[in-house]
Chain A
Amino acid sequence: MSALNEMSGLKKEPRGKKRKLTAAERKEELVSYLFLAPWLVGLAIITIGPMAASLYLSFTDYNLLQPPEWTGLDNYLRMFEDTRLQNSLGVTFLYVFVSVPLQLIAALALALILDRGMRGLSFYRSVYYLPSLLGGSVAIAVLWRQIFGTSGLINQLLALVGIEGMGWIADPSTALGTLMVLNVWTFGAPMVIFLAGLRQIPTMYYEAAAMDGASKVRQFTTITAPLLTPIIFFNLVLQIIGAFQSFTQAFVVSGGTGGPADSTMFFTLYLYQQGFGNFNMGYASAMAWLLLLIIAAFTFINFIASKWWVFYDD
Chain B
Amino acid sequence: MTTNIAPQANTAPAATRTPTKAAPPVRRKKRNDEELSGSTGSRLLKHIVLIAFGIIMLYPLLWMLVSSLRPNDVIFREAGLWLTTFEISNYTEGWNALQSPFGHYMINSMIVVVGSIIGNLVSCSMAAYAFARLKFRRRNLLFAIMLMTIMLPIHVIIVPQYIIFSELGWVNTFIPLVLPKLLATDAFFVFLMVQFIRGLPKELDEAARIDGCGHVRIFTRIILPLMMPALATTTIFTFIWTWNDFFSQLIYLTDPEMYTVPVALRSFVDSTATSSWGSMFAMSIVSLLPVFLVFLFGQKYLVKGIATTGIK
Q: Which residues of A contact B (CB under 8 A)?
A: 1, 4-5, 7-8, 10, 12-13, 15, 25, 28-29, 31-33, 35-39, 41-43, 45-47, 49-51, 53-54, 57, 64, 113, 116-118, 120, 122, 124-140, 142-143, 146-147, 149, 151-153, 156, 185, 189, 192-193, 195-197, 199-205, 208-214, 216, 218-219, 222-223, 226-227, 230-231, 233-234, 237-238, 241, 245, 247, 255, 268, 271-272, 275-276, 281, 284-285, 288-289, 291-292, 295-296, 299, 311-314
Contact = CB atoms under 8 A, between A and B. Distances in A.
B222 interface: no
A204 B156 contact: no
A140 B64 CA distance: 9
9 contacts: A28-B215, A31-B130, A47-B185, A139-B284, A142-B75, A142-B277, A151-B79, A200-B226, A312-B199
B149 A139 contact: no
A312 B199 CA distance: 6
Contacts of B53: 128
Interface string B7-44: 01110111001001101000010011001111000010
A113 B284 contact: no
A268 B20 contact: no
B232 A196 contact: yes
B240 A124 contact: no
A226 B3 CA distance: 11
Contacts of B147: 7, 296, 299
B134 A32 contact: yes
Given A51-B152, A200-B307, A299-B147, A227 B159 contact: no
Contacts of A288: 152-153, 155-156
A314 B153 contact: no
Contacts of B308: 199
A310 B128 CA distance: 18
Given A199-B302, A312-B2, A233 B135 contact: no
Given A128-B57, A133-B295, A208-B10, 7 more contacts: A35-B126, A46-B183, A152-B79, A197-B199, A199-B302, A200-B226, A209-B9
Nearest to B277: A142
Given A138-B265, A152-B79, A210-B28, A38 B152 contact: no
A299 to B, nearest CB: 6
B117 interface: no
A292 B140 contact: no
B104 interface: no
B115 interface: no
Please report whether the interface of chain A is mostly helix, strand, loop or mixed according to DSSP. helix
A138 B265 CA distance: 9
Given A39-B146, A313-B2, A133 B164 contact: no
B149 A47 contact: yes
B250 to A, nearest CB: 12
A255 B200 CA distance: 45
B191 to A, nearest CB: 6
A276 B159 CA distance: 11
A295 to B, nearest CB: 4
Given A138-B266, A313-B201, A38 B183 contact: yes
B182 interface: yes
Contacts of A200: 196, 199-200, 226-227, 229-230, 305-307
Contacts of B230: 196, 200
